[in-house]
């Protein structure tokens, strides 16, 4: 019975209608659900999910918290920039979950916007506080009152996050609903990009080897020889 329900649910879920030519990167504050949503989105799109923080930790041999404590945020951002650039320039397409401050770095932001489809998972402060309170591994929240820090971060970062290609409201609802919303918006975005591409390369123009007859039909002017 559960398998039948699952199959019925999957058959009703939206599917991507256009080929994905770029990787997808998820941006947003800590607690916005980039990993949770990213894993589900990657599964639906048959892609691999990659967490940039995990990749940084593997490359550095330290946790994110340790890097912040030993080397400071500036060095962390430099390492983050290198790792993200490597991930998004590989041949394979992925769903990339980025750290909360990654998109604030001008160079990283520029690369993400150029090489990937950037999706901002937007969440209100109260929900962020609730989610982040369940973990004590957030370096930026260890320096004061979490809610005040998150409010400050929203004021600083939300105007920058708005540069993302797509903005998704990620609230208390089911994670699958958020994934569905992403796919719906991706389809609209990719449809627009396809039209822009066709216009740019002129695929809607008549072939130079064709001419239009009085009836409005195109005739091939090439010789059969």
pTM over 0.85: no
**Cα 167 to Cα 130: distance, rounded to the nearest angstrom:** 21
Name, in order, each residue with C-beta under 8 angstroms of 78's C-beta and a sequence gap of 6 or more: none
- Give the helix ranges, DSSP H, for the chain: 2-12, 34-45, 52-60, 64-88, 106-115, 125-132, 146-161, 175-201
Residues 6+ positions from 27 with CB-CB distance below 8 Å: 34, 98, 102, 103, 112, 118, 119, 120, 121, 161, 164
Asked if residue 27 lies in contact with residue 122, where contact means CB atoms within 8 angstroms, the answer is no
pLDDT per position as a tens digit, 141-199: 555 677 888 899 999 999 999 999 999 998 777 899 999 999 999 999 999 998 887 88
% of the chain at pLDDT higher than 70? 79
CATH, domain 21-220, list 3.40.50.300, 3.40.50.970, 3.40.50.620, 1.10.10.10? 3.40.50.300
Q: Report the DSSP beta bridge partners of residue 48.
A: 94
Q: Domain boundaries in the chain? A: 21-220
- Average pLDDT rounded to a whole number, residues 9-30: 87
H or E element that contains 117: strand 116-122
* Model pLDDT, residue 212: 38
- Rounded CA-CA distance 163/14 in Å is 25
């Amino acid at each position: 019975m559960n398998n039948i329900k699952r199959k019925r649910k999957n058959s009703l879920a939206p599917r991507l209608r256009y080929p994905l030519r770029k990787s997808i990167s998820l941006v947003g504050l800590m607690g916005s659900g980039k990993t949770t949503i990213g894993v589900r989105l990657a599964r639906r799109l048959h892609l691999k999910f990659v967490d940039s923080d995990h990749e940084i930790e593997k490359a550095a041999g330290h946790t994110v918290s340790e890097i912040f404590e030993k080397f400071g945020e500036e060095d962390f951002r430099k390492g983050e920039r290198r790792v993200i650039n490597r991930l998004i320039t590989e041949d394979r397409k992925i769903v990339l979950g980025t750290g909360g401050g990654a998109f604030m770095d001008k160079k990283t932001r520029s690369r993400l916007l150029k090489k990937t489809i950037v999706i901002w998972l937007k969440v209100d402060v109260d929900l962020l506080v609730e989610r982040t309170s369940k973990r004590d591994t957030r370096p930026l929240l260890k320096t004061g009152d979490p809610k005040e820090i998150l409010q400050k971060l929203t004021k600083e970062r939300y105007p920058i996050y708005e540069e993302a290609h797509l903005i998704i409201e990620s609230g208390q609802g089911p994670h699958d609903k958020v994934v569905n919303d992403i796919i719906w918006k991706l389809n609209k975005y990719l449809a627009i990009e396809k039209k822009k591409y066709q216009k740019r390369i002129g695929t809607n123009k008549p072939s130079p080897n064709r001419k239009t007859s009085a009836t409005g039909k195109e005739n091939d002017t090439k010789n059969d020889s």
